[in-house]
């Protein structure tokens, strides 16, 4: 596996760099992309039918959120069979057809892998819970009650309440960092690691090009089951989970050793890619540990932007600074929106025009050093949908209503045809309602409009492909003061200036640039109007 930091900025020709270095990756939430069989739920054949649209965006790859066999308590992140496709999404043959079509269009395919926990319907857990002596007895995290019958530690679940649930069969508690129906695997057990690595090989053998590894820092716990200390400071607290420093139920120092085993498997499949999702208070240290050197994961992304309340130059500068461009340091990935966070333009635009702001942040996204993730619908400028309580599906939103509005508003159906029922997503009532203004933003309407957000996105993604300095070059923050952000991107002899005004007042500048390659909001070498930006070669 190449060391990403050493692959830049000097290497570099496009042929010498791995495909994933600086890749643009389009995330598809399968339930919400396209329903091909009229049951109101998106599926794999629906995705395959619309891959031409994805390819037209000039991205490198797609990332599929889970489509595995599942009771859907957490909409696929509770896996009951790692090797199966849930019938609501189709079959393994449908998945193979999707892979074949994507590859024919030049798209790589990355799939989610959920290795920290399974569903309680998984055959492994069903066996493990039967006794303390069966072959899989130690495949999950079991512990005796305290003498007074209370849970073994004070650990709290992300979704609210204790992270322990009593099981009468074993007369023990099982650990679950998420729903009580999502028991934690015991990845300290090498037999469990072996089984997970076999799952990885199964999908690699089917042709997938990489994995996005979900919640990997939750994959190992403190075997001593020590209590978490209380959190300090005045940060927002809406769940018991927020009242603790989560230093014992997650983030164990043995996780990087397991990831080296993962990397060893990936090395047998040249050209494959791994990226970890890492959240929490210690995210940056963990991301560095998980991607250090050349024998762990290729990349990682955290929640700098996904949970950022406001987009500022300082936020961008601080995020980039967390990934120094030194040998041995990993390669970052960035997302402004995904299935776990409200859509970025709706979060950040404030009193400014939403659509104008969506264009600005798309321009900024393509200027960042690292891989970039584009969430389905971002190319259309979809707004965050308002979902009433009666329509909620997200278990987190239901459990914490109304303080946590949840994730459903970012998971609504993709609008394809403005005049068709359900905007062309389905012929039936969809699993979530469409956003009120989403039909007006449908693909068919924007396809016919040369000034639409869809065309802007296609142009910007093509620009990133055409400019090696954007895709894999170095990045220096020249200015991050007030509302002004200026980045310098460079690779070999290529030098680019990326300048942004992220505020509501004009900023006069003196940029030594040539003709802009992309400009938004009337930005020029002398003036950056409110919420404007440009990417241009150095003069």
Q: Which residues are catalytic?
A: 214, 277
Q: Are 363 and 15 in contact (CB under 8 A)?
A: no
Complete DSSP assignment for 502-524 = -SSS-EE----B-S-SEEETT--
First to last CA, the chain: 37
Report which DSSP code applies to 351: T
β partners of residue 230: 244
CA 297-365-11 angle, to 5 degrees, is: 55
- CA gap 487, 443 in Å, rounded: 32
For 267-394, where are the alpha helices, taking DSSP H only? 283-291, 313-321, 344-348, 354-367
At 314, phi and psi to the nearest 5? -65, -40
Q: Which helix (H) or strand (E) element contains residue 193?
A: helix 190-205
For 322-452, where are the alpha helices, taking DSSP H only? 344-348, 354-367, 395-400, 443-447
Q: Which helix (H) or strand (E) element contains residue 496?
A: strand 494-501
Beta strand pairing status for 210-213 and 164-167? unpaired
- CA gap 344, 338 in Å, rounded: 9
> How many CB atoms sit inside 10 A of residue 195's CB?
16
Chain centre to alpha carbon of residue 219: 17
- CA gap 73, 83 in Å, rounded: 18
The token duo for 383 is 């707004």
Q: Are 316 and 348 in contact (CB under 8 A)?
A: no
């Amino acid at each position: 596996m190449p060391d990403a930091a050493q692959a830049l900025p000097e290497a570099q020709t496009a042929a010498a760099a791995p495909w994933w270095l600086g890749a643009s990756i389009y995330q598809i939430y399968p339930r919400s992309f396209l329903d091909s069989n009229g049951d109101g739920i998106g599926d794999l054949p629906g995705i395959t039918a619309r891959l031409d649209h994805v390819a037209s965006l000039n991205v490198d790859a797609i990332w599929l959120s889970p489509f595995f066999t599942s009771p859907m308590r957490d909409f696929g992140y509770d896996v009951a069979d790692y090797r199966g496709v849930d019938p609501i999404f189709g079959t393994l043959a449908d998945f193979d057809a999707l892979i074949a079509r994507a590859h024919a269009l030049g798209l790589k395919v990355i799939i989610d892998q959920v290795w920290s926990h399974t569903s309680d319907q998984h055959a492994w857990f069903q066996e493990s819970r039967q006794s303390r002596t069966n072959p899989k007895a130690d495949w999950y995290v079991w512990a005796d009650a305290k003498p007074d019958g209370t849970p073994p530690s004070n650990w709290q679940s992300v979704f609210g309440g204790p992270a322990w649930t009593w099981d009468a069969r074993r007369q023990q508690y099982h650990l679950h960092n998420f729903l009580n129906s999502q028991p934690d695997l015991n990845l300290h057990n090498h037999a469990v690691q072996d089984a997970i690595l076999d799952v990885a090989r199964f999908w690699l053998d089917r042709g997938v090009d990489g994995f996005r590894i979900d919640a990997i820092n939750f994959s190992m716990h403190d075997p001593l089951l020590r209590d978490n200390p209380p959190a300090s400071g005045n940060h927002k607290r809406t769940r018991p989970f927020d009242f603790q420093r989560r230093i014992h139920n997650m983030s164990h120092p043995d996780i990087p050793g397991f990831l080296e085993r993962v990397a060893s498997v990936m090395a047998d499949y040249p050209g494959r890619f791994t990226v970890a999702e890492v959240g929490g208070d210690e995210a940056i240290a963990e991301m560095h540990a998980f991607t250090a050197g050349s024998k762990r994961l290729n990349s990682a992304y955290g929640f700098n932007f996904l949970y950022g309340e406001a987009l500022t130059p300082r936020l961008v500068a601080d995020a980039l600074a967390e990934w120094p461009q030194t040998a041995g340091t990993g390669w970052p990935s960035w997302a402004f929106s995904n299935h776990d966070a409200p859509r970025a333009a709706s979060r950040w635009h404030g009193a400014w025009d939403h659509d104008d702001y969506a264009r600005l942040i798309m321009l900024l996204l393509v200027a960042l050093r690292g891989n970039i993730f584009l969430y389905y619908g971002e190319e259309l400028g979809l707004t965050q949908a308002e979902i009433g309580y009666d329509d909620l599906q997200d278990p987190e939103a239901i459990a914490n209503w109304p303080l946590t509005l949840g994730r459903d508003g970012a998971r609504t159906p993709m609008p394809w045809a403005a005049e068709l029922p359900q905007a062309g997503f389905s012929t039936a009532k969809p699993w979530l309602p469409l956003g009120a203004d989403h039909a007006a933003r449908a693909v068919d309407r924007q396809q016919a409009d040369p000034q639409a957000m869809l065309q802007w996105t296609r142009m910007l993604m093509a620009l990133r492909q055409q400019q090696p300095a954007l895709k894999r070059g170095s990045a220096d923050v020249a200015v991050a003061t007030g509302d002004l952000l200026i980045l310098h991107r460079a690779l070999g002899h290529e030098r680019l200036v990326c300048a942004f005004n992220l505020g509501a007042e004009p900023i006069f500048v003196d940029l030594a640039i040539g003709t802009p390659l992309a400009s938004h909001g009337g930005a020029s070498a002398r003036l950056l109007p409110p919420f404007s930006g440009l990417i241009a070669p150095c003069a």
